[in-house]
Amino acid sequence: VARLLHNSYGKSRVRLTKVTRRDDRHDLTELSVDIELEGDFEATYTEGDNRKVVATDSMKNTVYVLAREHGIESIEAFALHLARHFVERYDQVEAATVHIAQDAWLRAEVDGRPHPTTFIGGSREKRTCTVSHTRGATLVEAGIEDLLVLKTTDSAFEDFVSDEFRTLPDAADRILATSVTARWTYDADDHDWNECFGRVRAAMLEVFARHFSRSVQETLHLMGSAALEACPHAAEITLELPNSHRIPFNLSPFGLDNPNAIFVPTDEPFGLITGTLTRD
Amino acid sequence: VARLLHNSYGKSRVRLTKVTRRDDRHDLTELSVDIELEGDFEATYTEGDNRKVVATDSMKNTVYVLAREHGIESIEAFALHLARHFVERYDQVEAATVHIAQDAWLRAEVDGRPHPTTFIGGSREKRTCTVSHTRGATLVEAGIEDLLVLKTTDSAFEDFVSDEFRTLPDAADRILATSVTARWTYDADDHDWNECFGRVRAAMLEVFARHFSRSVQETLHLMGSAALEACPHAAEITLELPNSHRIPFNLSPFGLDNPNAIFVPTDEPFGLITGTLTRD
Amino acid sequence: VARLLHNSYGKSRVRLTKVTRRDDRHDLTELSVDIELEGDFEATYTEGDNRKVVATDSMKNTVYVLAREHGIESIEAFALHLARHFVERYDQVEAATVHIAQDAWLRAEVDGRPHPTTFIGGSREKRTCTVSHTRGATLVEAGIEDLLVLKTTDSAFEDFVSDEFRTLPDAADRILATSVTARWTYDADDHDWNECFGRVRAAMLEVFARHFSRSVQETLHLMGSAALEACPHAAEITLELPNSHRIPFNLSPFGLDNPNAIFVPTDEPFGLITGTLTRD
Amino acid sequence: VARLLHNSYGKSRVRLTKVTRRDDRHDLTELSVDIELEGDFEATYTEGDNRKVVATDSMKNTVYVLAREHGIESIEAFALHLARHFVERYDQVEAATVHIAQDAWLRAEVDGRPHPTTFIGGSREKRTCTVSHTRGATLVEAGIEDLLVLKTTDSAFEDFVSDEFRTLPDAADRILATSVTARWTYDADDHDWNECFGRVRAAMLEVFARHFSRSVQETLHLMGSAALEACPHAAEITLELPNSHRIPFNLSPFGLDNPNAIFVPTDEPFGLITGTLTRD
């Protein structure tokens, strides 16, 4: 009665620390890799026949072997290596998708100078990428997750729908805080990934700081536009901006005013604004 | 240069406790609602014009108002109410997607008898649904998340690809543990949702317990087939089965054998097996 | 200038799955062990001299070895084995503290009958114990963590301090929800641990369900008293009861009443009530 | 039969955002407050008599009111205000303990210059303090949590106990990574808290970077000594250093060497090294 319409399998959360030992300093890369394969695997689903199945444990081994053999110049380059490897090495693999998230380690400063072999944990922000590779095509997507930003002014939310379900007042000057998730596709599979990433990130931060926001939606649109302008190789960008509400605490029961000074940060519920921008 | 290709916005993690006070007992429902709207909202993105924007705070209010007015017979019925409300109430809304996750509270037993007004926290398992409603169409999807199951025998993984990346030995008798995520679509928007849910869940559990698994893929296929068979209204089912590895601890350095008795449970990395089954 | 006043070290989160294969069924135990040693270890702190240091990796190995050799009749018995082992095996160890938390797996029911080799994840509730063993003395403490309970009625909070900081109204009938943490000491190191645990847990649940609560503090006192009464070997019990607030949603702006039916569950901030009871 | 030996209650996770609007810039403080009171509260436990109970909701209100009235120069100063308030305002309160954890927000840089009103999320690191105040005495404790640091060289672990439970080889050059938790007491209740905090943190980081570590224990001792030396007002310091293992991946099955380049970061199990240092 049932037919297998789609299937895939892989290994997730393969964590890797890579130390590159140079003469004057060490470099540190820490990341987590997810691998997903599609192909001629129906027999294991329908008959328990595993002869074409590459064990997910072998996928895990492959991550460490390729990291040793090729290094990790950027997560995009490493994901391309991995995705191509699986498609080229195994006839039964038709498509490989490799997602990588990189942790933010910073070089420690000691006495005001960067230390050659000591690192300090950075923010929650992660640099991400997803490479999808088939025999015919390759798609490289880069991204940012959990980039927390907050502006204490130059944000309003006014003149929205007033009806029987509304209790929220207009706000002419509110705190705007969000945790940016951005993902953008590239127009080719060979760019200076690190430079493009830096440009997109800087452009989004600059616009976030400098514009006057009349809605999170407007902020999203401006950030996305700035990103596409900053990197001509970025083809399309999707942003997800949760509204990390800071709610003014009502001090009037205590005979005090609240001149936009005291807020309650809340995690839930939260607004979630999304949008995808492309080039015209 | 940039064009807004797609946009949506909404409120996530609207949490709700509903108590229904009957003569002989109280019933308890606890859930979390996510709402997402699509429609004529481009002006707020491109011009900061909010006149058509229904505040996400108003969406939150709506959840509590409709819960009071309609009750919550099932999460599917409540999601249908909500999704239809947003599309019917606001001309600018073209599509509403409502996702609900319900926590597992159990009636407490006291002296071996169910207590009328006391509840005890159930497992991590959540019952979920997603209703997508536009002016033309309605799609109801139901699901389960985080259903942990484990079998101590009747699971093997053998005869898979042997190559230079493999180090994992064949296993003729291993522990199979997973955290089931399942989502299935319905063929209509009016069924006995609670009964269908119960049948699908029971069928998947029964097959998990009774079959001999030659791969997680085979287990997935059997569970999905059983689900479709158990509920004739389920049209298509997608399963995601992480392989929650229990790795035999090597006791030979200590002069001991390990007769499939002592294992190390690990959270990462983990295999992830997915598949979608449909009716033939 | 600085003197080492106190030191200890150990291994945390040693996770273990134990399967006991009986003729008619398998039993499953899953737990996480923390070990902490104190003793003559000052040289490694002050001089980097490791000759007396038992590696935390060796402690981890010891958990698996002793689980194989002794089995796990109860977490208390296993913790006693481990704690005594470290003190007896190593002259430099003066005290060993072993903490164990056991996950709640339930035997799966298939067609209404318990299945011999299939298990289903239970609630978040954990059974815990801490054994402290020195050459002179042994202390066994048992406990429960994350036992979620909720009563929909028979709970009030009234007539508390009214002053300029109060905005909370009296509540004559509110929801009382909490996540019980309890820890009790035993008067000796040799009891039927499983039986005592069951009695204490049942007594606390029964009193939670049946009493009328005028404050979380009163609930705590009644639960603690019932626990000491249920198990004559329990010497002293400490309870921590977070007040997992369910706040009535104000429906009056929408022209609706709220007859104690619609609540918002919140995670933070939360009240936290603690108390320790002993025998008179 | 049961006697109440000890009791306390309070409010946890009271979250607060404070914006100070200066002419040339805004300052941002975000923190979470826990309050715990002890005193004459036995009647609510034993008789449900709440007349002396200050609602935890009122404690929450007090946090926002005092933040408005006094500002937050440092978390230590704010915790002192709060703790003294509860003891002085309510006769029935004998002791108040206030714990505060401050989130790490950084001023955003735009075009290489600090932006006056935009902030970016910092690391997971939290600055903490605990103030304990009774009618007779005040104790101020400051601290750091979740400060992630990693050194890629100058760390070894050799010559530790070799016995039948050991499988870990000596390591002459390993990665040392930890998440520092430190708490130190002050010798008085009136210091420049921000300056002391800065000195202690910088001293610990410097020593972590520069020393050669023969054990995590030695690292702890050196960090604690440096902290006490850096701040003459710090009386006693306790450090907890989890060993966040980076395990060399064995590449020999794949015909490759691993010159200290490729590691697997693991979260569990983990070593945990603790120590308390005081002045001689």
pLDDT digits (tens, 9 = 90+) for A112-132: 999 999 999 999 999 999 999
Cis-peptide, bond into residue B269, ω within 30° of zero: yes
With contact defined as beta carbons under 8 Å apart, do B13 and A242 qualify? no
pLDDT at residue D1 greater than cutoff 80: no
- For residue A188, name the pLDDT band (cuts at 50, 70, 90): very high
pLDDT at residue A280 greater than cutoff 90: no
Give the CA distances from residue C131 to residues C59, C71, C82, C199, D273, in Å, rounded to whole numbers and listed in that order: 16, 17, 9, 20, 19
Q: Does C48 touch chain A (CB under 8 A)?
A: no
In sequence order, which residues have a C-beta less than 8 Å from that of residue A87 and are 6 or more positions away? A93, A94, A95, A96, A133, A134, A135
Average pLDDT over residues A172-199: 97
Give the CA distances from residue C123 to residues B120, C141, D136, in Å, rounded to whole numbers and listed in that order: 9, 22, 45
| Options A81, A99, A191, A245, the catalytic residue | A245
φ, ψ at D215 (rounded to 5°) = -165, 160
Average pLDDT over residues A197-219: 98
How would you class B78 by CB atoms within 10 Å of its CB: exposed for 0-12, middle for 13-18, buried for 19 or more? Answer: buried
Q: Which two tokens stand for residue B194?
A: 């609670």
With contact defined as beta carbons under 8 Å apart, do A108 and A89 qualify? no
- Residue B254 is classified by DSSP as G
pLDDT at residue D280 greater than cutoff 90: no
Percent of chain B as helix, strand, coil, to the nearest 5: 25, 45, 30
| Options A44, A56, A134, A138, the catalytic residue | A56
- For residue B50, name the pLDDT band (cuts at 50, 70, 90): very high
pLDDT at residue D269 greater than cutoff 80: yes
Tell me what pLDDT residue B1 has: 75
Average pLDDT over residues D83-107: 98
With contact defined as beta carbons under 8 Å apart, do C142 and C101 qualify? no
From CA C59, how far away is CA D273, in angstroms rounded? 14
| Options C26, C52, C56, C138, the catalytic residue | C56
How would you class D159 by CB atoms within 10 Å of its CB: exposed for 0-12, middle for 13-18, buried for 19 or more? Answer: middle
φ, ψ at A271 (rounded to 5°) = -70, 150
pLDDT tens-place string over residues D175-216:
999 999 999 999 999 999 999 999 999 999 999 999 999 999
A17 catalytic residue (yes or no): no
Tell me what pLDDT residue C275 has: 98
Cα–Cα nearest to B213, from A156, D218, C118, A123 = C118
Chain C stretch 154-183, residues whose beta carbon is closer than 8 A to a beta carbon of chain A: 164-165, 167
Share of chain D above pLDDT 70, in %: 100
Cα–Cα nearest to A4, from B199, B177, B228 = B228
Share of chain C above pLDDT 70, in %: 100
Q: Which two tokens stand for residue D230?
A: 């850096």
A245 catalytic residue (yes or no): yes
Q: Does C134 touch chain D (CB under 8 A)?
A: no
φ, ψ at C112 (rounded to 5°) = 80, 5
Tally Cβ neighbours within 10 Å of residue A150. 25
Q: Which two tokens stand for residue A106?
A: 């910073």
From CA D204, how far away is CA D220, in angstroms rounded? 9
pLDDT at residue B203 greater than cutoff 90: yes
Tell me what pLDDT residue B14 has: 98
Average pLDDT over residues B65-72: 96
- Helical spans, DSSP H, in D21-74: 42-47, 56-70
Tell me what pLDDT residue D240 has: 98
Contacts of A166 in chain B (CB under 8 A): 55, 57-58, 61
D237 has which bridge partners? D184, D277
Q: Which two tokens stand for residue A126?
A: 């992660």
pLDDT at residue C241 greater than cutoff 80: yes
Cα–Cα nearest to C25, from C123, C112, C126, C108 = C108
pLDDT at residue B280 greater than cutoff 90: no
With contact defined as beta carbons under 8 Å apart, do A7 and D253 qualify? no
Query: H or E stretch including D115?
Result: strand D113-121
With contact defined as beta carbons under 8 Å apart, do B141 and B186 qualify? yes
Share of chain A above pLDDT 90, in %: 99
With contact defined as beta carbons under 8 Å apart, do D280 and C12 qualify? no
Give the CA distances from residue A218 to residues A80, A209, B5, in Å, rounded to whole numbers and listed in that order: 34, 13, 14
- For residue C40, name the pLDDT band (cuts at 50, 70, 90): very high
Chain D stretch 214-243, residues whose beta carbon is closer than 8 A to a beta carbon of chain A: none
pLDDT tens-place string over residues C57-75:
999 999 999 999 999 999 9
From CA A62, how far away is CA A55, in angstroms rounded? 11
- For residue A1, name the pLDDT band (cuts at 50, 70, 90): confident
From CA C7, how far away is CA A44, in angstroms rounded? 54
With contact defined as beta carbons under 8 Å apart, do B228 and B183 qualify? no
Contacts of A167 in chain C (CB under 8 A): 253
Pairing of strands B26-39, C105-110: unpaired
How big is the C-D interface in CB pairs under 8 Å? 257
Tell me what pLDDT residue C271 has: 98
Q: Which residue pairs, CB below 8 angstroms and at least 24 apart, start in C20-27?
A: C20/B261, C20/C71, C21/B152, C21/B153, C21/B259, C21/B260, C21/B261, C24/C116, C25/C107, C25/C114, C25/C116, C25/C117, C26/B152, C26/B153, C26/C116, C26/C117
| Options B44, B56, B134, B138, the catalytic residue | B56
Cα–Cα nearest to D142, from D131, D157, D158 = D131
pLDDT tens-place string over residues D42-78:
999 999 999 999 999 999 999 999 999 999 999 999 9
Q: Does C41 touch chain D (CB under 8 A)?
A: yes
E strand map for chain B: 2-21, 26-39, 93-102, 105-110, 113-121, 126-134, 138-151, 176-186, 234-243, 246-248, 262-265, 270-279
Task: Tell me the three state secondary structure of residue A56.
Answer: helix
From CA D177, how far away is CA D180, in angstroms rounded? 9
Q: Does C254 touch chain A (CB under 8 A)?
A: yes
How would you class B234 by CB atoms within 10 Å of its CB: exposed for 0-12, middle for 13-18, buried for 19 or more? Answer: buried
Mutate to test the interface with B, among C11, C13, C32, C118 (most CBs of B within 10 A): C118
Q: Does D268 touch chain A (CB under 8 A)?
A: no
pLDDT at residue D91 greater than cutoff 90: yes
Q: Which residue among C111, C121, C246 sits closest to B123, beta carbon to beta carbon?
A: C121
Tell me what pLDDT residue C280 has: 85
- For residue C1, name the pLDDT band (cuts at 50, 70, 90): confident
From CA B157, how far away is CA B216, in angstroms rounded? 8
Cis-peptide, bond into residue C269, ω within 30° of zero: yes
pLDDT at residue D258 greater than cutoff 80: yes
Q: Which two tokens stand for residue D115?
A: 């932006």
Task: Tell me the three state secondary structure of residue D18.
Answer: strand
From CA D128, how far away is CA D185, in angstroms rounded? 12
- For residue A36, name the pLDDT band (cuts at 50, 70, 90): very high
- For residue D165, name the pLDDT band (cuts at 50, 70, 90): very high
- For residue B276, name the pLDDT band (cuts at 50, 70, 90): very high
Cα–Cα nearest to C54, from C25, C27, C100, C87 = C87
Structure-token match 């209790």, residue found: A167
Cα–Cα nearest to D41, from D19, D56, D57 = D56
Contacts of A48 in chain B (CB under 8 A): 213-215, 217-218
Give the CA distances from residue C4 to residues B5, D225, D276, in Å, rounded to whole numbers and listed in that order: 64, 9, 6
Q: Which two tokens stand for residue C220?
A: 């705590």
Answer yes or no: do D54 and C218 touch at CB < 8 A.
Answer: no
Query: H or E stretch including C2?
Result: strand C2-21
SS3 string, D123-181, reads ECCEEEEEEEEECCCEEEEEEEEEEEEEECCCECECCCCCCCCCCCCCECCCCEEEEEE
Average pLDDT over residues D150-160: 98
| Buried/exposed code over C199-233 (b: 16+ C-beta within 10 A; e: otherwise) | bbbbbbbbbbbebebbbbbbbbbbbbbbbbbbbeb
From CA D86, how far away is CA D97, in angstroms rounded? 9
Give the CA distances from residue A271 to residues A133, A249, A262, B14, in Å, rounded to whole numbers and listed in that order: 34, 19, 21, 10
pLDDT tens-place string over residues C121-150:
999 999 999 999 999 899 999 999 999 999
CA angle C88, C91, C97 (to 5 degrees): 55
pLDDT at residue A101 greater than cutoff 90: yes
From CA C28, how far away is CA C118, in angstroms rounded? 9
pLDDT at residue C88 greater than cutoff 80: yes
Phi/psi region, residue D125 (left: phi>0; alpha: psi -120 to 50; beta: rest), is: beta
Contacts of A210 in chain D (CB under 8 A): 110
From CA A277, how far away is CA A271, in angstroms rounded? 20
Structure-token match 């990189």, residue found: A102
